[in-house]
Amino acid sequence: LIDEGRVEMAKEILKDCLQDGRKSDSVTGDCDALHCYFMLASIFRKSKDIKAAKDVLIAAYDAFKGSALEIDALIQLSRFLVNNGDIQEGVKILGSVKKPPMMVKAQIELADVFLNNIGNRKEYIKCFQRILKKRKTTNNIL
């Protein structure tokens, strides 16, 4: 639909998907709903409606807060902020995650931002040091 120029129709379909998906109690339904949020945000971003895209990603985070998918929503929000020039806010969001195992994913994403967007190798290394300090397991060392 997007490639054919029917952006408004795609937005409506995704909004309907979100309403239906969040009614489901299954992980599959949640995962589908989360991807609908991501696709909707992507459509807004491609339409140059950055505020609407950000609002959708914030809504996704709010909708999945406390669930296993919370970190995925948070990482997408952070990536969006970084890719749209708000690197410090993206770093702040990722740095605020303190609970394992979500903290491990957040620190890996944060390390990527420090290396590829900021060019700070010391902070890149510190991200992995924080992971090892928090959870000294074989999986983290590998």
Structure confidence at residue 1 (pLDDT): 46
pLDDT at 56: 92
pLDDT value at position 29?
A: 56
pLDDT at 46: 87
Cβ-based neighbour number of residue 2 at 10 Å: 14
- pLDDT for 47 equals 86
- pLDDT score recorded for residue 5: 58
Is pTM, for the whole model, over 0.85?
no
What are the helix (H) ranges across 2-101? 7-21, 27-46, 50-64, 70-83, 87-95
Low-confidence residues of the chain: pLDDT under 50: 1, 21-28
